Amino acid sequence: MSTLTLPPQATPAGLAVDIAAFAMHQGELQVLLVERGTLPHARTWALPGGFVQLNEELHEAALRELRTETTVELEPRLLEQFYTFGAVDRDPRGRIVSVAHMAVLPHGTVSVTGGGNTLGAGWFPAHQPPPLAFDHAEILAHAIERLQVRLEYANLALEFLPETFTLPELQGVHEAILNRKLDKRNFRKRLLAQGVLATSGERRSGVGRPAQLYRRAGRLRLVGNL
Amino acid sequence: MSTLTLPPQATPAGLAVDIAAFAMHQGELQVLLVERGTLPHARTWALPGGFVQLNEELHEAALRELRTETTVELEPRLLEQFYTFGAVDRDPRGRIVSVAHMAVLPHGTVSVTGGGNTLGAGWFPAHQPPPLAFDHAEILAHAIERLQVRLEYANLALEFLPETFTLPELQGVHEAILNRKLDKRNFRKRLLAQGVLATSGERRSGVGRPAQLYRRAGRLRLVGNL
DNA sequence: TCAAAAGTGTTTTAACTACACCCATGG
DNA sequence: CCATGGGTGTAGTTAAAACACTTTTGA
């Protein structure tokens, strides 16, 4: 597992992945964090992540770390590498380069428990995270930025919701990601004009007037590269 | 230089950088390639690149490789990491992960010669490159995509030009990067409305009517991260 | 005076913003 | 009947696209 035929001029560095995994809970954008159980930064919250194995692809490593460090029940709906953090001094253990990924976990992904070397796992407000280990605060900030960019031209918000959903729910996802309020009428106009939503006939009961249910009319998203 | 205190679970991989360095020549977007002198892919054209040293930042490694593999006279005006290519089988020597960078070399960067392990270096049409080693064709394609995106909201095209330039020259840079023709009147309107150009008084003589010279009125670009 | 390249305006269209009231339901 | 949340339309503004002729210079 550890034998390697690198050329002599290659100075091996530690290769890691970190994952900023997002979900919506209580109408808020939340990020999945783990409490580190080992040094450095023991008992500090961090993004889930770990070292890449020699025979696995980067996004496979990200998925594996998500699954072993936190018990999330569902498959991520989107997993995308967004930047590689490689500052010489970012990890006191030596030169460790982290390929940072952004993941979207679908609706229903709620209970998370620690696993592997972590003391625990939990959801935290993505826009106001607790103090984080290493350079993970920076990584998280960039992940949110990328999430906001993706929101525009992929219809990424759908990934946060169950198969059928109402327009106010969808608007809530957009607002939580962008961290600002949107105009109801303009939002509906824009989304419906895209033609990617189909009405799903039924209605969902609540406190006030029932809302029209929609489902996606279009394509799927891929987990993978670029 | 090669001693490292990585934790035991870290499986060291080779860490490399590759650079897609662009410049404008003869009104065409060109990319800097080197002819490999060593196996694998000896005598094949490739993006300049190489292994990152343990004590250097990723963008420093990219600059160093640019300088040692190709003799380029000038500093790049922009150097930006854009994606990390880490497929298990992308390099026959073993697991080597490449943090790909995009660079813009300013006007005047013309003569390039090989250096280091390369047999030679030269400029090639970026949109129609020769066959490339490893996964470098894919890397180059993504670099061009990123260049096109950056063109919009950074005024990146200025980086390809000397300090003073004419609007037709600037339009030519945009057209070469986007690989399509633009409308002269709309281009001028849009660029001048941005207010980042200042007239530079003088005029440059040529075949037809002389053109107004401009210079940037605004900010500088940084070499570095994000 | 001709060739060659620079320069210049208007109209149409699409997209985004701001903004206030009525509707359907459950309690 | 009232509280709660869902649903609807218009007018103004801004940004982009299409489109053809005149001006300045050197040869």
Is B2 among the domain residues? Answer: no
A224: which DSSP letter?
Answer: S
Residue B187 counted as domain residue: yes
CB contact under 8 A, A5 and B94: yes
Q: Which of A130, A153, A176 is the last residue of a domain?
A: A153
Distance A83 CA to C22 C1' (A): 49
**Those residues with Cβ within 8 angstroms of residue A206's Cβ, 6 or more apart along the chain or in another chain:** none
What is residue B32's DSSP assignment?
Answer: E
Instruction: Supply the Cα-derived Rg of chain A in whole angstroms.
Output: 19
- Decide if B15 and A16 are in contact by the 8 Å CB cutoff: no
| Residues A135 and A183 occupy one common structural domain | no
Q: Please tell me whether residues A186 and A112 are part of one structural domain.
A: no
Q: B226 lies in a domain?
A: no
Q: Where among B153, B171, B200 does a domain terminate? A: B153
Q: CB count, 10 Å around CB of A70?
A: 26
Percent of chain A at pLDDT > 90 equals: 65
Residue B223 lies in a domain: no
For residues A97 and A208, membership in a common domain is answered with no
Mean pLDDT of B142-166: 90
d(CA A166, CA B142): 37
Q: What is the pLDDT of residue A211?
A: 94
Q: Are B96 and B208 part of one and the same domain? A: no
- Interface A–B counts its CB contacts (< 8 A) at 118
pLDDT at B110 over 70: no
| Residue B59: pLDDT over 60 | yes
Say which CATH number the domain at B72 has: 3.90.79.10
Same structural domain, A24 and A117 = yes
Report the pLDDT averaged over residues B195-223: 79
Identify the weakest region by mean pLDDT among A23-32, A154-163, B66-75.
B66-75
Tens digits of per-residue pLDDT, A187-222?
999 999 988 899 987 777 778 999 999 999 865 444
Which tokens belong to A62? 């990200």
DSSP designation for B159? G
pLDDT, mean of residues A93-120: 84
Contact assignment for B6 to A97 by CB distance below 8 Å: no
One domain, residues B138 and B197: no
- Which tens digits make up the pLDDT trace of A61-88? 999 999 888 877 778 889 999 999 999 9
Position A34 in a domain:
yes
How distant is C1' of C1 from CA of B206, in Å? 19
Same domain, B201 and B108: no
Residue A104 has pLDDT above 80, yes or no: yes
- Is there a single domain that holds both residue B23 and residue B127? yes
pLDDT (0 to 100) of residue A137? 98
Total domains in chain A come to 2
> Has residue B146 been placed in a domain?
yes
Which residue has tokens 């061009």?
B144
We report the CATH number of the domain holding residue A197 as 1.10.10.10
CA angle A225–A23–A158, rounded 5-degree value: 70
Burial of A193 (0-12, 13-18, 19+ CB in 10 A): exposed
User: What angle (nearest 5°) sits at the alpha carbon of residue B128, between those of residues A84 and B48?
Assistant: 40
Report the Cα–Cα distance between both ends of chain A, in Å, rounded.
Answer: 28
Determine whether B215 is exposed, middle or buried from the number of CB atoms within 10 Å of its CB (0-12, 13-18, 19+): middle
Select from A4, A5, A9, A11 the residue whose CB has the most chain B CBs within 10 Å, as the one to mutate to test that interface: A11
Kindly state the tokens that stand for B86.
């880490």
The pLDDT of residue B223 is 40
pLDDT on residue A225: 37
**Nearest alpha carbon to residue B79 among B57, B58, B96, B104:** B104
Section B72-81 average pLDDT = 85
In strand D, which positions have an atom below 7 A from any protein CB?
3-10, 16-20, 23-26
Lowest mean pLDDT among A20-24, A165-169, A214-218: A214-218
Q: What is the model's pLDDT at position A74?
A: 73
Which of B1, B2, B6, B64 should be substituted to probe chain A, the one whose Cβ sees the most A Cβ atoms within 10 Å?
A: B6
Residue B15 contacts residue B91 (beta carbons within 8 Å): no
In Å, how far from its chain's centre is CA A11?
Answer: 31
Instruction: Test B4 with A88 for CB contact under 8 angstroms.
Output: no
Contacts of B50 in chain A (CB under 8 A): 9
Q: Work out the pLDDT band at A117, boundaries 50, 70, 90.
A: confident
> Which pLDDT score is estimated for A2?
43
Strand partners, A15: A97
Domain co-membership, A200 together with A119: no
Residue B5 lies in a domain: no
Among A72, A194, A172, residue whose Cα is nearest residue A122: A72
Burial of A47 (0-12, 13-18, 19+ CB in 10 A): buried
Test A57 with B86 for CB contact under 8 angstroms.
yes
What distance in Å separates the CA atoms of residue A54 and residue B154, rounded to the nearest whole number?
38
For A128, the domain range is 14-153
Q: How far is A20 from chain B (nearest CA, A)?
A: 17
Q: Are both A25 and A76 inside the same structural domain?
A: yes
Residue B1 lies in a domain: no
List protein-proximal bases of chain C (any atom < 7 A from a CB). 3-10, 15-20, 23-26
Cα B53 from Cα B1, distance rounded (Å): 8
Q: Which amino acid is at B194?
A: Q
Q: Are A63 and A168 contained in the same domain?
A: no
| Measured distance CA(B18)–CA(B61) in Å, rounded | 9
Task: Give the per-residue SS3 of A28-92.
Answer: EEEEEEEEECCCCCCCCEECCEEECCCCCCHHHHHHHHHHHHECCCCCCCEEEEEEEECCCCCCC
Please tell me whether residues B174 and B200 are part of one structural domain.
yes
DSSP codes, B168-220: HHHHHHHHHHHTS---HHHHHHHHHHHT-EEEEEEEE--SSS-EEEEEE-S--
Single out the residue in A153, A174, A196 at which a domain terminates.
A153
